[in-house]
Amino acid sequence: MIQSYKDYLIYKEADRISLNQKNNFFQKIYDEVLKFQRLMRQLEYLTNCQKNSLMKLITKFRYYRLGTKLGFTIPINIFGPGLSIAHFGTIVVNNGAKVGTNCRLHVCVNIGTEAGKASSAPSIGNNCYIGPGAKLFGPIIIGDNTVIGANSVVNTSFPEGNVTIAGVPARVISNKNSDRLLIKGYTNS
């Protein structure tokens, strides 16, 4: 969670690297997903550090407006540094979920709660790849370096990590981890 301006800069740079974006003017202007992630980090900074409330209000408006345009319903303070949203399209995340560093999300992902229980959302580890159409729900734990296959329904925990899970319901299909599927914008060095 962003707790200082230094954290804000670290998160912003880690997201840019994970998105494999150059640090140039044209991508900052024309890449809508990068804009969304930058607004998310700015709103997290303004919210967590109790900064200018007018700026926070303007940023919140811009964040939700751009999120609606892109199809994202993503609350703040959910994702660690190094988030990579592959492209725009429907993505819904519950505000009780927690996701670690270097997560890659694809279109039509839903990270939600168990039916009728507002506080039982997934906890997802570091360096996880979530494929298109994956649905994760309930008080589950997904370990580090996990790959979640396209259109999987994950309603049980896989805390061991370093595996590929897929299917309806999801099960371990391989011992391959996420190293080959994402760019790690954040390292604990």
Residue with tokens 């540094």: 81
User: 3-state SS of the chain: helix, strand, coil percent to 5?
Assistant: 30, 20, 50
Sorting pLDDT into bands at 50, 70 and 90, what band is 188?
confident
Structural domains in the chain? 1-71 (no CATH), 90-178 (2.160.10.10)
Q: What is the pLDDT of residues 19-47, one digit of tens each?
A: 988 877 776 678 899 999 999 999 999 99
Q: What is the pTM (predicted TM-score) of this model?
A: 0.91
* pLDDT on residue 146: 96
Helices 32-48 and 53-70, interaxial angle, to 10°?
Answer: 150
Q: Which residues pair with 20 in a beta bridge?
A: none
DSSP one-letter string for 73-86: E--SS-B-S--EE-
